[in-house]
Chain A
């Protein structure tokens, strides 16, 4: 059992709103600099940059979780975490198929570039990634779990793109043992759910501005769920930094 400092909500240069400076090496360097042990990459509606950031992270001794931040039909942002690239890719491909065929306007939204470990641009994503897919929150949640992923509603206390903002309260039919909270105050609606805080970094300087401490056996989706339930001394702690 050990305690991991975690920042599980980070955007790369592939997200239109993510800075072009958010290259794999810049992300990993910032995380190491801030004493973080585990990161997750959570670009909007894609995980294409996952493998290269994972490789860069592992070389620097950082643990890595594959992730994606999906924007559902209700304009709710749902984070999803996976142990392996293939499962995350499979989910990401389903998400992409339901993403409207709207072109990105880089002047307005920002560039969407896939880069390699040396910051070379491999390709430019033409479809606007920051858009709602044509699937409901419930449907997406089921698909994430079907691929072995962990769904976590993002920044539920924010005014925009949050579960509580868009839907008013937690739907009865879907269970989320873990939710991400942005501010210092945990909304009453959260009840007994475990609270995760992460940076939602779009610039290298923002990495680690919020973190959580995960006490568990190893870094995996299963262990995080056990930590949320407080099994065998595991825990999730977070505070606004």
Chain B
């Protein structure tokens, strides 16, 4: 079973939120910056990879119950968005790598576990 803590370590992600746990299971992922599409398609236990930093990402993550959000390309949201995520128990992660590279690494990581 792959946990958030394994993903954060393996991908070298920066943790933006505080007080949010890492014990949720990760089984898949979604990469999308259009929140209407994420709302329609994201599954619980997905990692959501995006460059969208608008405050609505917190609500979308909450509603879809994704395991965590990875902001790619060095994108960091405003502090009030990070604070809101911490309050809501949404794990916000950041990386300087592109969405493409993050997806590749995450896919390889999840695939390695299935073997």
Contact = CB atoms under 8 A, between A and B. Distances in A.
B60 A171 contact: no
Decide if the interface of chain B is mainly helix, strand, loop or mixed: helix
27 contacts: A74-B54, A136-B54, A136-B78, A138-B55, A165-B34, A165-B36, A166-B34, A166-B35, A166-B36, A166-B54, A167-B35, A167-B54, A167-B56, A168-B35, A168-B36, A168-B39, A168-B56, A168-B59, A168-B60, A169-B35, A169-B56, A169-B59, A171-B54, A171-B56, A172-B55, A172-B59, A173-B55
Top 4 A-B residue pairs of the complex, sorted by shortest distance between their CB atoms: A168-B35, A167-B56, A168-B36, A168-B39
Contacts of B52: 74, 166
Interface string A93-111: 0000000000000000000
Q: Tell me which of B39, B56, B60 has the highest count of chain A C-beta atoms within 10 A of its own C-beta.
A: B56
B66 interface: no
Contacts of B34: 165-166
A181 B59 CA distance: 24
A164 interface: yes
A137 interface: yes
A74 to B, nearest CB: 5
B102 interface: no
B38 interface: yes
Contacts of B78: 136
Interface in A131-176: 136-138, 164-169, 171-173
Contacts of B56: 167-169, 171
Interface of A: 74, 136-138, 164-169, 171-173
A168 B38 contact: yes
A84 B55 CA distance: 32
A166 B32 CA distance: 10
A74 B50 CA distance: 12
Contacts of B54: 74, 136-137, 166-167, 171
A173 B34 CA distance: 19
A165 B39 CA distance: 10
Nearest to A138: B55
Interface string B6-50: 000000000000000000000000000011101100000000000
Nearest to B80: A173
A169 B54 CA distance: 12
Contacts of A172: 55, 59
A167 to B, nearest CB: 5
A168 B32 CA distance: 12
Q: Tell me which of A74, A167, A169 has the highest count of chain B C-beta atoms within 10 A of its own C-beta.
A: A167
Nearest to B52: A74
B83 to A, nearest CB: 13
Nearest to B78: A136
Interface in B88-106: none
B90 to A, nearest CB: 15
Contacts of A169: 35, 56, 59
A137 B55 CA distance: 10
A165 to B, nearest CB: 5
Contacts of A168: 35-36, 38-39, 56, 59-60
